[in-house]
Amino acid sequence: MKVAIVGAGVAGLSIGWRLRQSGAEVTVLDRAQPARAATWASAGMISVAGEMEDEVSDEATFAKRSSGLWPDFAKDIEAASGRKIAYRTDGALLVARTDAAWDRFRNRVDGVPLDPAAARLKDPMLAPDIKGALWSPDDAQVDNRALGDALAVAFVKAGGELVPNEAVARLENWDGRMSSIVTPFRHIEADAYVLAAGAWTGAFDSLPREASPPVRPVKGEMIAVAPPGGSGLPQHVIRDDRVYLVPRHDRLLIGATVSEAGFDTSVTDAAAADLSARAISLLPGLSDWNVVERWSGLRPGSPDSLPILGESAVQNLFIASGQYRNGILFAPAIAEHLSRLILKQTAEISAFSPRRFD
Ligand SMILES: Cc1cc2nc3c(=O)[nH]c(=O)nc-3n(C[C@H](O)[C@H](O)[C@H](O)COP(=O)(O)OP(=O)(O)OC[C@H]3O[C@@H](n4cnc5c(N)ncnc54)[C@H](O)[C@@H]3O)c2cc1C
C-alpha cells in the first residue's frame, strides 16, 4: 500500500512512521522543515488531569489511552532514532487560586488534593495566597522539539520518504475519490492520503466544501525563563487556571496565551508581559529570572474543540487534525488509530469523524 501524507508535524510523522512499520510505502511532505510549526512551539505536556479534568467523554478516553501509550512510544522513538526526547513522568501540581477551584479539586478522583501547607512542601516557591492544589502523579512531559526531530529520523531510518520544503498546492479528487496530490514539482498518486497540516488543514481550496475540515488557527505565545545563578528549577509541571510552568532542561517554559488571530505568528511584548505577570503571581520568586526566549505557534482548532480523525467526505482522504491544545498528548493514539483506520483494522470513533460537520 502506498500512502502520501501532507504535513510533517508530530501527527503526520508519527502516523507515517507507524504505517511504515506496518509495511506501507509512505511519503511525508512538508512545505518547510519537519516539525517546525505547532509541534516545535508546544510546551510538550502530556497532561490528562490538567486538560481533561476528570470528565467522562470520548476525548478523555482517547487522552487516557494515549497517555498510557506514551512510555512505550517514547522508548520506541529513542531506540529507532538514537535520539533522546526527555520523556519524564514527574507528575504535575495543579494549583487552586480560588475557593471554587479548591472545592473542585477536593472532589476529583484523578489526583491527590493537598492543602496549602502540603502543596508548599512540594513546591516551596508557591505564592502565599493559594487555596490548595491537586497532585497529579500521572502527568508527564516530553521535549517536543527533540521529539519532532527524533520522529523525522525514526521515520527515515524505517525507510519512509521525507520531503521537506515542498508545499502541497492541490488535493486532486475525481468522482468523490482522491486521485493525487500536487506540488510545484510533481503529482503524487497513492492508495491513501492523510491531511495532517496542523492549523493549515482547512486551507486547501481544491477540496469540495463538505470534505474540507473546518480547522482554524488558534495562536499561542510562550516565553522561557532561566534562573539567576544558583537557583534551582521546579521538579515538575506547576499550573493554575491562567498559566503553566514546565521545567525543561535548564529553563522554565511559561505558557500560553490563547487568541484568535488568523495565521499571525508575531511575538508580542504584551503577551510576554502578561505571561510573566501570571507566572510571578503563582511563583513570586520568578520575578528576577531572565527571559531567554519568546515564541508563538498555531494550534489546529475545530468547531467543537474535538480532534478530527478519520476518512473525509472524499474517499481515501484521511484527516488527522483538530488536536487543539493536545496534539503532543494525543500523538501515539492518533498514530495508532489513523494507521489502523487506513489499513482497515479498526472502526472510526464517531465523535471524531471528519464527516460530523456535514
Ligand atoms: C503555544 C502552544 C503550546 C502547546 N502546548 C501543548 C502541550 O503542552 N501539550 C500538547 O499535547 N499539545 C500542546 N500544543 C498543541 C500541539 O502543539 C498541537 O496540537 C500539535 O503540535 C499539532 O501537530 P500537527 O502535526 O497536527 O501540526 P503542526 O506541528 O503544526 O504540523 C503541521 C505541518 O504541516 C505543514 N504544512 C502546512 N501546510 C502545508 C502544505 N500546504 N504542504 C505541505 N506541508 C504543509 C506545516 O509546515 C507543518 O510542519 C501546544 C500548541 C501551542 C501553539
Rounded Cα distance between 145 and 16, Å, is 18
Q: What is this structure's pTM?
A: 0.98
Tell whether the model's pLDDT for residue 110 goes beyond 90.
Answer: no
Task: Print burial letters for 219-256: b (CB count within 10 Å at least 16), e (below 16).
Answer: bbbbbbbbbeeeeebbebbbbbeebbbbbbeebbbbbb
Tell whether the model's pLDDT for residue 52 goes beyond 90.
Answer: no
Average pLDDT, the chain: 96
CA 11–ligand 1 middle distance (angstroms):
8
Q: pLDDT at position 289, please? A: 96
Q: pLDDT at position 91, please? A: 96
Average pLDDT over residues 327-348: 98
Tell me the C-alpha to C-alpha distance, in Å, between residue 214 and each of 58, 150, 199, 328, 354: 20, 30, 10, 21, 9
Q: pLDDT at position 39, please? A: 98
CA 224–ligand 1 middle distance (angstroms):
19
Tell whether the model's pLDDT for residue 358 goes beyond 80.
Answer: no
Q: pLDDT at position 229, please? A: 83
Lowest mean pLDDT among 44-53, 238-247, 322-331: 44-53
Domain ranges of the chain: 2-85+143-215+303-357, 92-138+216-301
Lowest mean pLDDT among 37-41, 109-113, 333-337: 109-113
For residues 333 and 287, the answer to whether their CB atoms sit within 8 Å is no
Average pLDDT over residues 150-166: 98
CA 299–ligand 1 middle distance (angstroms):
6
CATH placement of domain 92-138+216-301:
3.30.9.10
| pLDDT band at 326; cut points 50, 70, 90 | very high
CA 30 to chain centre: 17
Tell whether the model's pLDDT for residue 53 goes beyond 80.
Answer: no
Ligand 1 pocket test: which of 18, 31, 94, 216 has the largest number of ligand atoms within 8 Å of its C-beta? 31
CA 107–ligand 1 middle distance (angstroms):
34
Average pLDDT over residues 316-339: 98
Please list every protein residue whose CB sits less than 6 Å from any atom of ligand 1.
6-12, 29-32, 36-39, 41-45, 167-168, 196-200, 220, 222, 255-256, 297, 299-300, 321, 323, 325-329
Rounded Cα distance between 130 and 132, Å, is 6
Percent of the chain at pLDDT above 90? Answer: 95
For residues 123 and 148, the answer to whether their CB atoms sit within 8 Å is no
Q: pLDDT at position 51, please? A: 82
Q: pLDDT at position 50, please? A: 80
Domain 2-85+143-215+303-357 has CATH 3.50.50.60: yes
Lowest mean pLDDT among 30-39, 77-86, 88-97, 224-233: 224-233
- Length of the chain measured in residues: 358
Q: How many CB atoms lie within 10 A of CB 94?
A: 28
Ligand 1 pocket test: which of 5, 27, 28, 30 has the largest number of ligand atoms within 8 Å of its C-beta? 30
Nearest to 328 by CA among 81, 135, 86, 63: 63
| pLDDT band at 231; cut points 50, 70, 90 | confident
Tell whether the model's pLDDT for residue 55 goes beyond 80.
Answer: no
CA 48–ligand 1 middle distance (angstroms):
19
Q: pLDDT, tens digit, for every residue of 188-228?
A: 999 999 999 999 999 999 999 999 999 999 999 999 999 99
**Per the structure block, which three cell numbers stand in for 75?**
522508548
Q: pLDDT at position 66, please? A: 98
Alpha carbon nearest to ligand 1 atom 3, residue = 42
Question: ∠ CA 75-81-84 to the nearest 5 degrees?
Answer: 60
User: Do the first three CATH levels of 2-85+143-215+303-357 and 92-138+216-301 match, i.e. the same topology?
Assistant: no
